[in-house]
C-alpha cells in the first residue's frame, strides 16, 4: 500500500462513522418535508413518483406471511446500477452498489450494511459462486434479493433500484455539492469518455458528472475506499438538500429520481419510515462493517468475505429483526464488533 493510500485510509477511519448511501436519500427526503408549506405539492409529486416506479416481485420465501412496514420489522435492499445507453446492456446490468438496511420498530433503529460489488458469494439464480454483482445481471432485483438472503439467512422484503442517471441529476438539481477530493483524478464521464473529468486534490464544489467520477474511481485505492467516497457524497447531498435554499429544488429532485428508479414498495408503505425519522433522539442509524480480503481466483479478482464476519453479521441482523434464537453474551459481543463506531 502506498504512503498516500495509508494516510488517506487512516484519515477516513478516524472520521465519524455515521454513514449513509445516496440510495437511501429519496424515502428520507419524502418524509422530511411534512412541516413545510411546500409539502402538499411535494406529497402529490412523491406519490406519483412511487406509483410510477412500482414494480413488484415475489415475496421472500423466508416469510410465512405478508408483512406491514407500519407494524413489523423489515429489510430493504438498495441496488445501484449502471445501465447507461453507452454500455448497451442487453437485459439486466450488473449491480454497482448494494446496501442492505434492516429496520427495528421497537428500537426505532436502522442498520446499514454495505456489500462490496465483487464479493465472492453463491448466486442461486446462476447456481454458482461468483461476484455478487452478477446476480442482478442474471435475474434483476429478485435474483439479487435471493442472493443476499442466501448469504445472511434473513428475509429481504423490499428493494429500491436506481441507476447513475438519477445520481447525476440529483446533484445537478441541487446546483452541486461539496466534497474533499483526496488526490488528483482523471476519470471517464457517464458516457465512458476517458479522462473527461479532471478533479484536483482538495475541498471543492462538484457537479453531477464530477460527483459520479469521484464516487466511482478506484485507480489509487480499493472498493472499500470507493464505498467510503459514495457515503461521503451521500452526506454532502443530504447536507445540501436540507438547507433552506434547496427546498424549491425538491420537485426537480423527485423528477430525477422518478425517471430512474424501480421499487416493490408502495407509496402507502413509505409511511412505515416515519417512526424511524421522527423519534425524540433523531435518526438512530448504525453502519455495519463487512470484513474481507482481496483475492484472485482463476485469474479473476474477487473480494473474499471473512466467514467469521459474515456469521457475526447474520447474528446481528437477525437479532435486529427479532428473528431466530437469542444470542449468548459472547455472540452478542462478536456481532456488535461489526458495527462501525
Contact 323, 154 (CB under 8 A): yes
In a domain, 186, yes or no: yes
- Where do the H-state alpha helices sit in the chain? 3-14, 25-31, 39-53, 134-152, 164-173, 208-216, 223-241, 250-258, 274-277, 307-320, 329-336
Highest mean pLDDT among 18-22, 132-136, 281-285: 132-136
pLDDT at res. 190: 82
- pLDDT band at 48; cut points 50, 70, 90: confident
In a domain, 203, yes or no: yes
Across 249-266, average pLDDT: 79
C-alpha cell at 114: 454495505
In a domain, 122, yes or no: yes
Contact 125, 143 (CB under 8 A): yes
Q: Residue 114: pLDDT above 90?
A: no
278 secondary structure, DSSP code: S
Across 114-124, average pLDDT: 93
Cβ of 211: how many Cβ atoms within 10 Å? Answer: 28
Rg (CA), the chain: 19
Total domains in the chain come to 1
pLDDT at res. 330: 59
CA 130 from centroid of its chain's CA atoms: 21
Q: Cell 431466530 sits at which residue?
A: 324
- pLDDT band at 10; cut points 50, 70, 90: very low
In a domain, 311, yes or no: yes
Q: Residue 214: pLDDT above 80?
A: yes
Q: Give me the residues paired with residue 123 across strands.
A: 128
Q: Residue 34: pLDDT above 60?
A: no
pLDDT at res. 287: 80
CA angle 98, 18, 185 (to 5 degrees): 65
Q: Which of the two residues, 1 and 115, has the higher pLDDT score? A: 115
Q: Which of the two residues, 232 and 69, has the higher pLDDT score? A: 69
Contact 88, 104 (CB under 8 A): no
pLDDT digits 0-9 by tens, 159-182: 989 887 777 888 888 889 999 999
pLDDT at res. 32: 47
**Mean residue pLDDT across the chain:** 79
Name the strand (E) or helix (H) holding 178. strand 177-181
pLDDT digits 0-9 by tens, 282-292: 667 788 888 99
CA distance to 66, 81, 162, 277, per residue, from 144 (Å): 20, 12, 14, 27
CA 100 from centroid of its chain's CA atoms: 7
DSSP for 89-108 reads -SSPPPEEEEEEEEEETTTT
Across 49-67, average pLDDT: 91
Q: Which of the two residues, 165 and 70, has the higher pLDDT score? A: 70
- pLDDT band at 21; cut points 50, 70, 90: very low
C-alpha cell at 248: 424549491
CA distance to 42, 110, 260, per residue, from 253 (Å): 10, 24, 11
- pLDDT band at 27; cut points 50, 70, 90: very low
Range with the poorest average pLDDT among 94-98, 256-260, 281-285, 302-306: 281-285
Q: Which long-range contacts (CB under 8 A, 24 or more apart) does 80-85 make?
A: 80/21, 80/22, 80/23, 80/161, 80/162, 80/163, 80/164, 80/167, 81/136, 81/161, 81/162, 81/163, 81/164, 82/163, 82/164, 83/163, 84/163, 84/164, 84/165, 84/190, 84/191, 84/192
Domain residues for 278? 3-336
Q: Which of the two residues, 318 and 215, has the higher pLDDT score? A: 318
- pLDDT band at 46; cut points 50, 70, 90: confident
In a domain, 199, yes or no: yes
Q: Which of the two residues, 57 and 248, has the higher pLDDT score? A: 57
In a domain, 206, yes or no: yes
- pLDDT band at 215; cut points 50, 70, 90: confident
In a domain, 264, yes or no: yes
Contact 95, 117 (CB under 8 A): yes
By residue count, the chain amounts to 341
- CATH number of the domain to which 231 belongs: 3.40.630.190
Range with the poorest average pLDDT among 13-22, 119-128, 159-168, 328-337: 13-22
Q: Give me the residues paired with residue 156 across strands.
A: none
In a domain, 341, yes or no: no
Amino acid at each position: 500500500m502506498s504512503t498516500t493510500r495509508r494516510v488517506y485510509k487512516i484519515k477516513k477511519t478516524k472520521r465519524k462513522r455515521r454513514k449513509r448511501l445516496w440510495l437511501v436519500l429519496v424515502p428520507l427526503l419524502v418524509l422530511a418535508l411534512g412541516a413545510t408549506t411546500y409539502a402538499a405539492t411535494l406529497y402529490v409529486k412523491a406519490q406519483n413518483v412511487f406509483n410510477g416506479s412500482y414494480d413488484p416481485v415475489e415475496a421472500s420465501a423466508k416469510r410465512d406471511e405478508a408483512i406491514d412496514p407500519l407494524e413489523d420489522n423489515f429489510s430493504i435492499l438498495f441496488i445501484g446500477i449502471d445501465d447507461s445507453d453507452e454500455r448497451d446492456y442487453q437485459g439486466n446490468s450488473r449491480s454497482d452498489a448494494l446496501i442492505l438496511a434492516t429496520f427495528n420498530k421497537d428500537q426505532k433503529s436502522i442498520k446499514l450494511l454495505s456489500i462490496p460489488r465483487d464479493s465472492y458469494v453463491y448466486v442461486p439464480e446462476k447456481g454458482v459462486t461468483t461476484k455478487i454483482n452478477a446476480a442482478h445481471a442474471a435475474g434483476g432485483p429478485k435474483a439479487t434479493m435471493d442472493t443476499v438472503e442466501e448469504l445472511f439467512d434473513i428475509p429481504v422484503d423490499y428493494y429500491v433500484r436506481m441507476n447513475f442517471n438519477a445520481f447525476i441529476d440529483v446533484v445537478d438539481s441541487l446546483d452541486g455539492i461539496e466534497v474533499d477530493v483526496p488526490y488528483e483524478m482523471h476519470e471517464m464521464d457517464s458516457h465512458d469518455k476517458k479522462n473527461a473529468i479532471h478533479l484536483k486534490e482538495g475541498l471543492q464544489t462538484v457537479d453531477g458528472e464530477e460527483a459520479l467520477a469521484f464516487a466511482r474511481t478506484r485507480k489509487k485505492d480499493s472498493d472499500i475506499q470507493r464505498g467510503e467516497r459514495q457515503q461521503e457524497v451521500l452526506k454532502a447531498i443530504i447536507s445540501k438538500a436540507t438547507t433552506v435554499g434547496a427546498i424549491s429544488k425538491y420537485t426537480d429532485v423527485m423528477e430525477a429520481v422518478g425517471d430512474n428508479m424501480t421499487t416493490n414498495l408502495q407509496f402507502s408503505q413509505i409511511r412505515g419510515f416515519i417512526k424511524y425519522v421522527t423519534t425524540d433522539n433523531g435518526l438512530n442509524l448504525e453502519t455495519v462493517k463487512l470484513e474481507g480480503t482481496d483475492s484472485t481466483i482463476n485469474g479473476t479478482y474477487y473480494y473474499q468475505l471473512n466467514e467469521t464476519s459474515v456469521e457475526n453479521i447474520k447474528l446481528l441482523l437477525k437479532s435486529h429483526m427479532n428473528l431466530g434464537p437469542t444470542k449468548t453474551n459472547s455472540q452478542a459481543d462478536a456481532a456488535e464488533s461489526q458495527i462501525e463506531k
